Structure 1
Amino acid sequence: MRASDADREVVRSVLTDAFADGRLTREEHEERVSTLLAARTLGELPGLVDDLVVVDPAAAGTESNPDQTLSFREQGAAAYRKELQEAIATFLMVSLITWGIWLFTSAPDGHPWPIYPMLFLVVNLVGTGVRREAIVQREVNRLEKKAAKKAAKKAAQAEIESTPEVGGPILGPPTTQPEKDRRDDLF
């Protein structure tokens, strides 16, 4: 059977997710995508993704170790998906509201002005899609900094706890007896 564009798009999204998650290098991703674009039958597609296990982040954390957190790269990919979903939701909500206002106020007579806000939101939506790797990397950097701060704080706390207390309590400066009292002690 011949492969359709929709079939190729499904495989391409799996390859792109694998690249974003760090399971494929850039070269491997480019090679597989070029092979994908040249594929004509459905039989050629599974070989491109057979070695890529689709990981469900919720299941990955609970199977082997419930306390195990997702890797920084996976958390970055999740942050990208969240940002993309927010961009889509914003586009849809603003579009629906502006078209609703237009329909109830000036639909038959007026110019379809809701097109203009939609254009700006489409630019934002496309920009979010194009900046996938930058968004993932930004989240990875944020998480690495957070982990480094936490590790430094933990190391400092451990050092403080392991340092033995030296000497006794700190007292004020030594006091001297007044001159008269010293003479009395001599005689």
Structure 2
Amino acid sequence: MAYARRAGASIHYSAAGRGAPLVLIEGLGYGPWMWREQTGPLGAARSLLLVDNRGISPSTPLSGPYSIDEFAQDVLAVLDAEGLPRASLLGVSMGGFIAQALARLAPERVERLVLVSTSPGGPGALPMPAETWAELVRNVQGESAADRLRRTMTLALSPTFATQRPHDFDALIQARLTAPQDPQQWAWQAEAAVPF
């Protein structure tokens, strides 16, 4: 396990592959399990750094509200820990917000920027639909953790993924169940993402 240190916190990251550096930045509430399909193909041509944002174990938990710029500073700490003056960034969803913030804060550190399923932010950006937020935070009496994940993860995937690739969908659910995120940590990550 590798850690970068910043402002009294430990930011966990893992490395895979070889070649030019590519930093993978995960989205809201997601851990390293989200990259399981990509690390093999991407690692064949790139040195990958998979960063676990604060609030995702084993990185230091958030102790209160945080900002996207602070998450970006954490990623810069990972680059510093690896001695990398520049790297390409791939950010998904909230990870895309973080990648954009890093490019704004330290453009000289960014080789290329790859943004997936994200938003440019700002007043002209389309926010997540209110119905989606409502479904993400809805509590269903008696719902198991696995059933909650099945319900909420379908919001982040293509409409047919769960039905056309049930084995892969179940594998994602199982991976997420082995690394659950504390609801308060999720809420603080969400607080950082919403104003972007």
TM-score, length of structure 2 as denominator length: 0.24
Bigger relative CO (Cα 8 Å, ≥ 6 apart):
2
Q: Which has the higher helix share?
A: 1
Q: Which has the higher strand share?
A: 2
TM-score, length of structure 1 as denominator length: 0.24
